[in-house]
Amino acid sequence: MTSTPSPLVDPFARAISYLRVSVTDRCDFRCTYCMSEQMTFLPKADLLSLEELDRLCSTFVRLGVQKLRITGGEPLVRKDILTFFRAMSRHLDTGTLKELTLTTNGSQLTRYADELAALGVRRINVSLDTLDPDKFAQITRWGRLNQVLEGIEAAKSVGLKVKINAVALKGFNEDELFPLLDWCAEEGHDLTFIEVMPMGEDMSPLRLDQYWPLKDLRTRLAGRFTLTDLTERTGGPARYVRIEETGQKVGFITPLTHNFCESCNRVRLTCTGALYMCLGQEDMADLRAPLRASPDDADLEQAIRAAIARKPKGHDFDYSRQKVTGQMTRHMSHTGG
Ligand code: SAM
Ligand code: SF4
Q: How far is the CA of 182 from the centre of ligand 2 (A)?
A: 24
Question: With a 6 A CB cut-off, is 106 part of the ligand 2 pocket?
Answer: no
Provide the phi-psi class of 297: left if phi over 0, else alpha when psi is between -120 and 50, else beta: alpha
Question: Which DSSP string corresponds to 148-179?
Answer: HHHHHHHHHHTT-EEEEEEEEBTTTTGGGHHH
Which range is least confidently modeled, 61-65, 185-189, 235-239?
Answer: 235-239
Which pLDDT score, from 0 to 100, does residue 132 have?
98
Burial tier of 87 (Cβ tally within 10 Å: 0-12, 13-18, 19+): middle
Ligand 2 binding pocket mutation candidate from 32, 42, 70, 74 (most atoms within 8 A of CB): 74
Per-residue confidence (pLDDT) for residue 237, from 0 to 100: 79
How close is the Cα of 285 to the center of ligand 1, in Å? 23
Q: Is residue 52's pLDDT more than 70?
A: yes
Residue-wise DSSP of 224-237: HS-EEE-----SSS
Say yes or no to pLDDT of 202 above 50: no
Please give the Cα distance from 52 to 65 (Å, whole number).
17
Cα(247)–Cα(305) distance, integer angstroms: 42
- Between the CA of 271 and the centroid of ligand 1 the distance, in Å, is 16
DSSP state letter for 331: -
| Phi and psi at residue 6, to the nearest 5° | -70, 145
User: Which distant-in-sequence residues (6+ apart) come within 8 Å of 20 by Cβ?
Assistant: 68, 69, 71, 266, 267, 268, 269, 336, 337
> What is the pLDDT, as a whole number, of residue 243?
96
How far is C-alpha 332 from the geometric centre of its chain's CA atoms?
A: 9
Q: What is the predicted pLDDT for the residue at 214?
A: 92
Shortest-distance atom of ligand 1 to CA 129: 16
Say how far apart CA 105 and CA 31 lie, in whole Å: 10
pLDDT at 121 over 50: yes
% of the chain exceeding 90 in pLDDT: 75
Chain-wide mean pLDDT for the chain? 90
Give me ligand 1 centre to Cα 296, in Å.
Answer: 35
> What whole-number distance in Å separates Cα of residue 274 and Cα of residue 2?
28
Average pLDDT rounded to a whole number, residues 312-328: 56
- Minimum mean pLDDT range among 9-13, 54-58, 114-118: 9-13
Residue-level pLDDT at 319: 46
Percent pLDDT > 70 in the chain is 88
Looking at residue 323, its pLDDT comes to 44
pLDDT at 79 over 50: yes
Distance between CA atoms of residues 190 and 121, nearest Å? 17
Ligand 1: atom nearest CA of 29 is 1
| Residue 46: DSSP 8-state | G
**pLDDT score of 330:** 57
Domain ranges, ordered by start, for the chain = 18-335
Residue with the smallest CA separation from ligand 1 atom 11 is 337
Q: Is 144 exposed, middle or buried (CB count within 10 Å of its CB: 0-12, 13-18, 19+)?
A: middle
Output the CA 5–ligand 2 centroid distance in Å.
Answer: 36
CATH number attached to the domain at 18-335: 3.20.20.70
Task: Return d(Cα 10, Cα 306) in angstroms, integer.
Answer: 10
Angstrom CA distances, 156 to 106, 214, 279, stand at 12, 28, 30
The minimum-distance atom of ligand 1 relative to the CA of 22 is 7
Residues with CB under 6 Å of ligand 1 are 27, 33-34, 71-72, 74, 103-105, 127, 165, 167, 194, 196-197, 199, 332-333, 336-337
Position 2 scores a pLDDT of: 57
- Report in angstroms the alpha-carbon separations of 285 from 167, 172, 295, 306: 29, 37, 19, 9
Q: Is the pLDDT of residue 19 over 60?
A: yes
Question: Does 292 or 331 have the greater pLDDT score?
Answer: 292
3-state secondary structure of 67: strand
Cα torsion angle, 3, 9, 14, 15, sign: negative
